[in-house]
Amino acid sequence: MQHTQERLGVSVVWEMLEDSISHDPEPSLVDLLRVVVGECHSFEESLAELMAHKVADEHVSRERLAELFTGALAADPTIAASAAADLLASVARNPAYPSVLVPYLFAKGFLGLQVHRVAHLLWCEGRRLAAMYLQSRVSEVFSMDIHPGALIGSGVFIDHATGVVIGETTVVGDDVSILQDVTLGGTGKQSGDRHPKIGSGVLLAAGAKVLGNVVVGEGARVGAGSVVLGPVPAGSTAVGIPARVVRSRSAGPPAESMDQTFDYVI
């Protein structure tokens, strides 16, 4: 049943992308739209071409990367399913996106996250050098740095992306929203499991830092510029430096509402 739902999401997103280019055939972008959508026969083929187009350089060709990405998407269908969920989440949570086509082609957070998903697969397969290469390209092209060991769920929205850093043993749940300049990092030179565990439905506001192997519970919020050094209970809000947990009135799931303002009582 879950596999069927994932395939349905991929099919729906692919239809939306095809419909977008037919209704808005921007003449200055005709070659890009043709290569990454118009001439493709599936979402997976399109996504592989798009990622290759974005991260190829003078040493590793677009054609070679397209082959790498195509193989990864075929080996792990959850990559495409997660990408489709990420794309729908991006449009739902950001009013600046008029259609799925805009974040698909241009949003650094969406694009960098999809390249990371392939890097994570390579990392788990023991292809560490290839995984680190993709991490490096994501950092250079999209201004965000996600270690390929990090495990990230689906329906994740990384808004703006600039300055986002996510460490090796980080785990991020489903339906999480992460704004610019967020760090999910360690506290020093420790080895082993040393990075945050972010529950599903969490909102990490702009500039938030979560450091160490600490848990941010499901549906919690971390306020802008806050530094979290200890656990944050599910459904609560943490603010300040160092962050303290406060009670707040929240309008719906924070990752979906994207509400960074709140009234609180210490």
- Residue pLDDT, tens place only, 159-181: 999 999 999 999 999 999 999 99
Average pLDDT, integer, range 52-63: 96
Average pLDDT, integer, range 98-125: 97
Locate the DSSP E strands across the chain.
Answer: 145-146, 151-152, 157-158, 165-166, 171-172, 177-178, 183-185, 197-198, 203-204, 209-211, 215-216, 221-222, 227-228, 237-239, 244-248, 264-265
Measured CA to CA in angstroms, residue 61 lies from 49, 51, 266 at distances of 12, 12, 55
All domains of the chain, ordered by start, with CATH? 2-148 (1.10.3130.10), 163-266 (2.160.10.10)
Q: Residue 3: is its pLDDT beyond 70?
A: no
pLDDT at residue 73, rounded to an integer: 97
8 A C-beta contact, residue 180 and residue 163: yes
8 A C-beta contact, residue 136 and residue 122: no
Q: Residue 1: is its pLDDT beyond 60?
A: no
Measured CA to CA in angstroms, residue 3 lies from 10, 15, 78 at distances of 11, 18, 9
Which residue is it, tokens 């739209």? 33
Closest CA to 179 of 198, 146, 203, 206: 206
pLDDT at residue 200, rounded to an integer: 97
Q: Residue 231: is its pLDDT beyond 70?
A: yes
What's the half-sphere exposure (Cβ side, CA atoms, 13 Å) at 59?
4
CA distance 47 to 31: 16
CA distance 81 to 88: 11
264 pLDDT band, cuts 50/70/90, is low
pLDDT at residue 22, rounded to an integer: 81
Mean of the per-residue pLDDT values of the chain: 92
249 pLDDT band, cuts 50/70/90, is low
Q: Residue 92: is its pLDDT beyond 90?
A: yes
94 pLDDT band, cuts 50/70/90, is very high
Q: What is the pLDDT of residues 132-142, one digit of tens each?
A: 999 999 999 99
8 A C-beta contact, residue 37 and residue 67: no
